[in-house]
Structure 1
Amino acid sequence: MDLDQLRTFDRIVRDQSFTRAAAHLNITQATASMRIRALEQLLGVQLFVRGRTVTLTDQGMTFLPFARRIIGTAQEGREALRRVERGRVSIGSLRTLVSPLITESLLRFQEKYPAVDVVVREGRQAQIAAMLHEREVEMGILCWPNIDPLVVDLEPLIIMRERVPLVVSPEVAARLSSQPSIDEVLALVPRVIALRWWQADPERAAALVRLAQTSVELPTGPARRLALKGEGLGFFVNSAVEEDVRAGRLVEISPIDFEPLHRDTAMVVRNPAVLERPMLADFIREIAQESARVGEIIDDRLHLFQSSSPAARVASR
């Protein structure tokens, strides 16, 4: 039994496909199949039911947590060796929060720790959760509460609430009454821009899509350009459109029959013991400072974890 076999097993479970797992691991499907056959022969059991979709057998389901524990332990050991050789911090963040939360934080952090390697990875909710699960990153910034069934052991350090206003172009806003209804707005801009800011769309966001004549789902960049041209309206997290609203390129509207939304995000770790590393704790504090600027801090547990760490207790003596 080797780590390549276990990683292949875990990847197939996640992707429910030998083909997709092989592509993710950058190996051939034949190699993936060979690794699983070797693992099954070693264990003396069949791990997968192979068919149109790949599912775990009862034996495979039983073995899965042990395989992931071995993978996690190996990754922790490798990371520990890397940190001994050279200082390194790694975090994962939702794409929409990399620029508003991490850019300035990183500049201040690097002034204090110029020789430390910093890894910042971005992605969607499930990707960040997977990075934490696989210990590719030490801290993550994702939507909260987390509803990913594969990753349940996350500890929130800071929970931030950010406004998600409904915005349109100035030309559209000028044609609206002082207290428009959502029907009046949709009569002028029938296309709704759907952005996956949440793990699951709030009812009001889903209702807006249902009411519209047409909708389009886009990443942030193209969606923002569509709104700027007056070709669509949508709920944007405030940090994505704050400068546009301030400059008058976009206008926030509040239909009388449609309440504004918010999104909660959290800085999370799998184990608060990572805060015993001063450099990581400092980087997290810098990001927390930016979080307070971008949104409202509705829960701050960072000081609780730091005060309970052995390093903090020694420092307080």
Structure 2
Amino acid sequence: MELRHLRYFVAVVEEQSFTKAAERLFIAQPPLSRQIQNLEAELGIQLFERGSRPLLTTEAGQFFYQHAVKLLSNAEEIKAMTQRVGMVEKTVTMGFVGSLLYGLLPKIVYLFRQQQQHLKIELIEMSTKEQIQSLKEGRIDVGFGRLRISDPAIRRILLREEPLMVAVHASHPLALQKAGVYLTDIVDEKLFLYPSHPKPNFSTQVRSLFSEYSLDPKNLKEVREIQLALGLVAAGEGICIVPESAKTIQLSHLHYIPLLDDAAVSPIFLAIRSMDESEDIRSLFDCIYQVYDLEAIKYDRAVI
């Protein structure tokens, strides 16, 4: 059981509604319900009267609520006092690759800001390769990228592997394959890759994916960024491989279909300096896994 579970429970009790509590917590209602169910399973008791409107606690639930409020209050007091001890403003600078803005990174950063209000948080878009050098030079404190770049001075943690999809025009024959396609189905298509520089980057990753299956696409064209690639697809100029989170980019006549090959994933890494074990980094990890829990995303939690 963690403090966040207590926060979720207290919000539901005070709002007497899962929907209103979810709005208060800035999360979706189904994940919140799952977290409360998990809490009841861990305690082995029922905390709420089922079917009551408004939502009411059981006797055990009311007892748990009273003590949860005290624990949360004590935790906030300790946090505030500790922050006053070291009142000098601290900055956490994060490097990130642009495509992650279409996924969960904004939610993670927002939650981190809410939970660490004493920190100044800065975001800088840069390639994974640039992040490694910036970490070593102290220009950023953490990097979010997609490439496996090894360096003895940097610790790289795999957060999760994001499925890849194929973006096609609605009139393209592949658009009918709603269940998905394989790389062999698209190897002869006109394929837009991005970004065009610097290397290595996501386009390098896509080329390597074809090579892994002994495929050699001939009709490739690199463009500057993902928005340009998808705009050209929406114009019927070709197709494009993108991370699943890019589905949030909605253009007329643009369809996304799954890429079914087992290796068709894009890893998401967090990179920090090898010896960095600061409390701020630990708090960032907690925010990442809180978001993953609420989004019901599978992951192997790293220990730092």
Quick check: TM above 0.5? yes
Q: Counterparts of 1:17-166 in structure 2 under 5 Å?
A: 85-147=88-150, 151-166=151-166
Structure-1 separation of matches of 2:110 and 2:94: 15
More divergent stretch after superposition (194-203 vs 279-288): 194-203
- Displacement of 1:182 in angstroms is 6.6
Q: Structure 2 vs 1, CA of residues 101 and 131 (structure 1 numbering), >3 Å: closer, same or farther?
A: farther
Which amino acid is 1:127 matched to? E
Matched-pair contact (CA < 8 Å) for 2:165–2:256: no
Matched-pair contact (CA < 8 Å) for 2:128–2:146: yes
- Structure 2 unmatched ranges of 5 or more: 1-85, 195-200
- Displacement of 1:208 in angstroms is 10
Matched-pair contact (CA < 8 Å) for 1:169–1:249: yes
Q: Structure 2 vs 1, CA of residues 193 and 180 (structure 1 numbering), >3 Å: closer, same or farther?
A: same
Q: Counterparts of 1:167-178 in structure 2 under 5 Å?
A: 167-173=167-173
- Displacement of 1:152 in angstroms is 2.7
Structure-1 separation of matches of 2:215 and 2:126: 24
Q: Deviations over 1:177-199 (max 9, x none)?
A: 78978787577xx4211124165
Structure-2 separation of matches of 1:254 and 1:213: 19
1:250 aligns with 2:249: no
Question: What SS class does the counterpart of residue 300 from structure 1 fall into?
Answer: coil
Q: Structure 2 vs 1, CA of residues 261 and 181 (structure 1 numbering), >3 Å: closer, same or farther?
A: closer
Question: What is the RMSD computed on CA atoms of the aligned residues?
Answer: 3.7
Structure-2 separation of matches of 1:177 and 1:244: 19
Structure-1 separation of matches of 2:116 and 2:263: 41
Percentage identity across paired residues of the two chains: 11
Question: What SS class does the counterpart of residue 129 from structure 2 fall into?
Answer: helix
Aligned residues between the structures: 210
- Displacement of 1:103 in angstroms is 1.5
Question: What SS class does the counterpart of residue 250 from structure 1 fall into?
Answer: strand
Q: Deviations over 1:38-80 (max 9, x none)?
A: xxxxxxxxxxxxxxxxxxxxxxxxxxxxxxxxxxxxxxxxxxx
Structure-1 separation of matches of 2:145 and 2:206: 15
Aligned to 2:231: 225
Aligned to 1:51: none
Q: Structure 2 vs 1, CA of residues 236 and 180 (structure 1 numbering), >3 Å: closer, same or farther?
A: closer
- Structure 1 unmatched ranges of 5 or more: 1-82, 306-317
Matched-pair contact (CA < 8 Å) for 1:165–1:260: no
Question: What SS class does the counterpart of residue 227 from structure 2 fall into?
Answer: helix
The structure in which a higher percent of residues are helix is 1
Which amino acid is 1:211 matched to? P
Following TM superposition, the consecutive aligned residue runs of length 4 or more in structure 1 with deviations greater than 6 angstroms are 177-184
